[in-house]
């Protein structure tokens, strides 16, 4: 079994997609926007989950640092320990 490559930085993530211009075309945004992500070293809100899932499906591991966090725990959104007050199932009419 081949060893999984880990993506540690936003720049590495962009290179997996063959650079800013190619990634921009894939996302239907300008390559300059992708370059700006690198300048700010920040992935804009709304893109993280798609990249995370796509890279995982392609066999990559991803460091939480790509998303601006030191650990996965720092960015995990956990439900409360108490049970929800409303049912998440079908509503009855």
Q: What residue spans define the domains of the chain?
A: 6-67
Q: For 16-61, how does the pLDDT look when each residue is reduced to its tens digit (9 = 90+)?
A: 999 999 999 999 999 999 999 999 999 998 999 999 999 999 999 9
How large is the average pLDDT for residues 84-91? 66
Cα 4 versus chain centre, distance:
17
Residue pointed to by tokens 């936003």: 10
Q: How far apart are CA 64 and CA 2, in angstroms?
A: 22
Comparison of pLDDT for 78 and 32, the residue scoring more:
32
Global confidence as pTM:
0.76
């Amino acid at each position: 079994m081949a060893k999984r490559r880990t993506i540690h930085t936003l720049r590495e993530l962009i290179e997996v997609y063959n650079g800013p211009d190619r990634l921009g075309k894939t996302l239907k945004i300008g390559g300059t926007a992708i370059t700006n992500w690198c300048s700010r070293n920040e992935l804009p809100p709304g893109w993280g989950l798609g990249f995370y899932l796509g890279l995982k499906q392609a066999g990559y591991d991803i460091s939480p640092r790509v998303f601006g966090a030191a650990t996965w725990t720092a960015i995990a959104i956990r439900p409360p320990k108490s049970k929800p007050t409303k049912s998440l199932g079908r509503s009855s009419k």
